Structure 1
Amino acid sequence: MRILFVGKMPACGVVIRNSSSWRLGAGIRSALKAAGFSTEARRRRQPRGTSKRSGSPGDPPFPGLLQPENLSREELVDVLRAAVVDQKGPLVTLNKPQGLPVTGKPGDLTLLSVLPELNHALGFGEQELQIVHAPGKESSGLVLLSSCPQTARRLQKYFTHSRRTQTPTATYYAITDGIPVPSEGKIQAALKLEYVDGVSLGVPVKPPSRKDILEGVRRTLSHFRVLTTGSGCALVHLQPLTVFPGQLQVHMVLQLCPVLGDHTFSARVSTVLGQRFLLPAETTKPQRQVLDEALLRRLHLTASQAAQLPLHLHLHSLLLPGARPRDVPTELLAPLPPYFSRTLQLLQLHQSSSLIPDARRKAVGVRGEEGCSGARGK
C-alpha cells in the first residue's frame, strides 16, 4: 500500500504543506485571528460574534477549536486553502475543520458554497471542483475533491463497489465516553430517519420487516476496535461499511459509549446506580452531552465549556484505487485536530506509533483519468 503523508498541524494554527516547504500567508493569519487563534484573542479568551456553541459570556472558547461559523466567506476560503494536504492533477485533498457543513440550504456558508472561490484560489481556472467524499458537518477530516468529472465518477463507483463488497475504505478515530465491551467487533443495526423534536435523526428499528426496508429502513454495519483506554474513556478505530447519516455516532451509542461531543445522540444513554442503559430513541430529544464531574476535571473544562465540546470523530485515512487495476491502493492520511490531540493528552490516551503519520513515508499522488488535465502541481 502506498501512503500519502499529511503534515502535522500545529496546536494553534493552520499550515499548508507545499512539496518540501511550509508557508502561512497573510490571508490565513487573518482568518486564524478572526477564528480566535491570535495572541490577542488567546489573551482575551472571548469568542467572536455569536455561535450556536457559545456558553456564558465569561467563558473562553473551547481550547484548540477553529469555529467555521465565525468566519467570513473570504476567511473560510483562506482556511480551506491552507487545509489542502495534497493537490495532484485533478484531485485535491483537504483536512476539513470540525463544524463546517458540506452542503446546506441556499445562502448557508458551506464547503459546497465556496467551491467556486476555492477553485479559483487553487488555480483550476474553468475546471470546476466537485465533492467526491467528505465527512459530515460535526466530523473533521479528509475531504476529496476532483476537477475531472471522469475521475470523480470512477472514484464514486469505487466507493460504491467497496460498500457492496463490505471492503472498508475510510477509517475514523473517535474518543468515547465509556469503554466498549468487547474491545473489538462489528456493530449491525437497522436504522431509519425519524423526526425527533423537529430534527431528522437515525433511530434503530428491531427487527426490520420487508415493509420497513421498503419504507426507508437501512441495514448498517461498522467495524470497531479499541486502541487505548484511560480515565474511563477510549480511543476507538472505526470503519463504516455502509453509509447512513450519523451512523458511527448511533453505533457507539448502541455500545453505551457515546462519542465525546455528541450533542445529538448521547442523551439516549442514561445511568442508574453506575449502570448504563438505552432510553427509547423515538422519545429522547437531542440535548447537550452531560459529562460527570470527574471527567470535566480531567478535561479542564467548566460545564459551560463542555456545552461547546466538539464532536471527537475524525476521518483519519481514506483508501483510493491505483491508476491501473493492479496498482496497490493509495492511503491518504490527515492529522488529528488540535482539540482532539489535547483531549488525548488530558485523558492519557497515549497514541501508538500507528496513529501518527510518519514524515519519512513517501508522498504518492493519485493520477486522474486521461482527458482531464489538472491545475499546476503542488
Structure 2
Amino acid sequence: MLEVLYEDNHVLAVNKPAGLLVHGDETGDTTLADMAKAYIKEKYNKPGNVFVGVVHRLDRPVSGVVLLAKTSKALARLNELFRSRKTQKTYWAVVQRRPPQEEGTLVHWLVKDSSRNITKAYAKENRSGQRSELHYRLLQAQQGCYLLEVNPITGRSHQIRVQLASMRCPILGDLKYGAPQPLPDKSIALHARQLQFEHPTLKTQVTVSAPPPQNAAWGPFR
C-alpha cells in the first residue's frame, strides 16, 4: 500500500518503506515504480500501460520521500533539477556515537566498488573519486542514540552512509559501513525526511515531508 505524500497531474511523491526497491534489479522483486503504476491504474481506472518515471532513488534499506513523474514532460524537467542540484534534500539519521561537533560539513572523495556495491571515502583528493560534501547537525540525543539532520550538497552512491561512518558515526543497523549489529527488520536508520523542489509545470516551490518509520530505531525521536 503506497503512502502518498503529494500528488497532482504531473508528480507523485510517496513515503518509501525500508526494504523496498525503487527501481528493478536482478532480484526481480516488486518495486516502488511497480506499486505506483498499479496505484495510478486503479485510482484513475486507466486502460493499458501507465507511465511512471523514476526521478531519483533511495537505497533499498533506506526509507523516506521519493519523487516520481507521471508525465514525460515532468520527468525531463525534474531530471534536470536533480542533475543541476536545484533541489534541497533533508535526511534524518540515527547514530550510536555522538559526532565530534554538534554541526559540521564533511568533504570526501568517494570511490565506488561496483562489484561489491560498497563505497570508500578518502579525506584527500583522489583522482578516481568524486568530490562529495554534506552538512550535518545534531538535533537530539536520547537513550544513547543521536538524531542527525543531514543535507547532502552532492548526490553520490551511499554518500551519507559512508561519510557519517568516516567520522566514526555509522548509521544504526548499517553493517556495510560499520554498525555493530543489524536492526530486526534489516533496515538502516536513514530516512529521507524532506524534499524541496520546483514544480515542473507550475514553477512553484513544493515541500514534501515524510514521517519516519514505525520501528524501534526511531522510537526515542517521535
Q: What TM-score results when the alignment is normalised by the length of structure 2?
A: 0.87
Give 1:168 shift: 5.8
1:186-235 deviation per Cα after TM superposition (whole angstroms, max 9, x unaligned): 1111011126xx622101235335xx24xxx2111111010011333210
Structure with higher helix content: 1
Please, which of 32, 41, 46 is the counterpart of residue 120 of structure 1? Answer: 41
Distance (whole Å) between structure 1 residues aligned to residue 102 and residue 138 of structure 2: 5
Residue 133 (structure 1) aligns with: 56
Mapped to 1, the partners of 2:156 and 2:36 lie a distance apart of 24
Matches within 5 A, 1:44-123: 79-80=1-2, 83-103=3-23, 104-105=25-26, 107-123=28-44
User: Whole-Å Cα distance in 2 between the matches of residues 344 and 109 of structure 1?
Assistant: 26
- Would you say the 8 A contact 2:107–2:123 is kept in 1? no
Aligned Cα root-mean-square deviation (Å):
2.4
**Structure 1: gaps (5+ residues):** 1-78, 267-288, 292-304, 352-378
Q: Which residue of 2 aligns with 1:365?
A: none
Deviations 1:293-339 (A, max 9, x none): xxxxxxxxxxxx846452111111100215555x4x22111111111
- 2: CA distance, partners of 1:117 / 1:143: 16
Is residue 234 of structure 1 aligned with residue 146 of structure 2?
yes
Larger fraction in strand: 2
Identify the residue that residue 175 of structure 1 maps to in structure 2.
94
What is the 5 A alignment of 1:205-354?
Answer: 205-209=122-126, 212-213=127-128, 217-266=129-178, 289-290=179-180, 306=183, 308-322=185-199, 323=201, 327=204, 329-339=205-215, 342-346=216-220, 349=221
In structure 2, list runs of 5 or more residues that go unmatched.
none
In structure 1, what is the Cα distance between the partners aligned to 2:10 and 2:21?
23
Query: Paired residues, what number?
Result: 218
- CA offset at residue 117 of structure 1? 2.6
Distance in 2 (alpha carbons) for counterparts of 1:324 and 1:107:
36
Give % identity.
23
Q: What's 1:202 paired with?
A: 119
Distance 1:151 1:345 in 2: 36
Question: 2 CA distance for matches of 1:228 and 1:107?
Answer: 39
Q: Counterparts of 1:106 and 1:178 in 2: how far apart (Å)?
A: 34
Amino acid at match of 2:75: A
Deviation at 1:114, TM superposition (A): 4.4
Match of 1:284 in 2: none
SS in structure 2 opposite 1:249?
A: helix
Distance change (3 Å), C-alpha of 1:124 and 1:187: farther
Shift of 1:120: 1.2
Q: What is the alpha-carbon distance in structure 2 between the residues aligned to residue 184 and residue 88 of structure 1?
A: 37
Structure with bigger RCO (C-alpha 8 Å, 6+ apart)? 1
Task: Map Cα deviations across residues 141-162 of structure 1 (whole Å, 9 max, x no partner).
Answer: 1111112111111122122222
Residue pair 2:21, 2:32 contacting (<8 A) in 1 also: yes
Q: 1:307 to 1:330 in 2, by over 3 A?
A: closer
Q: Secondary structure at the match of 2:175?
A: coil
TM superposition shift of 1:94? 1.0
Q: Contact (CA 8 Å) 2:81, 2:87: kept in 1 or not? A: no
**TM-score normalised over the length of structure 1:** 0.53
Instruction: Quickly say closer, same or farther: Cα 1:187–1:115, change in 2 above 3 A.
Output: same
1:124/1:315 Cα in 2 relative to 1: closer, same or farther (>3 Å)?
farther
SS at match of 1:154: helix
In the alignment, the residues of structure 1 paired with residue 153 and residue 78 of structure 2 have an alpha-carbon distance, to the nearest angstrom, of 16
The higher radius of gyration belongs to 1
Please name the residue that 1:148 is paired with: 71
Cα displacement (A) at 1:124: 6.8
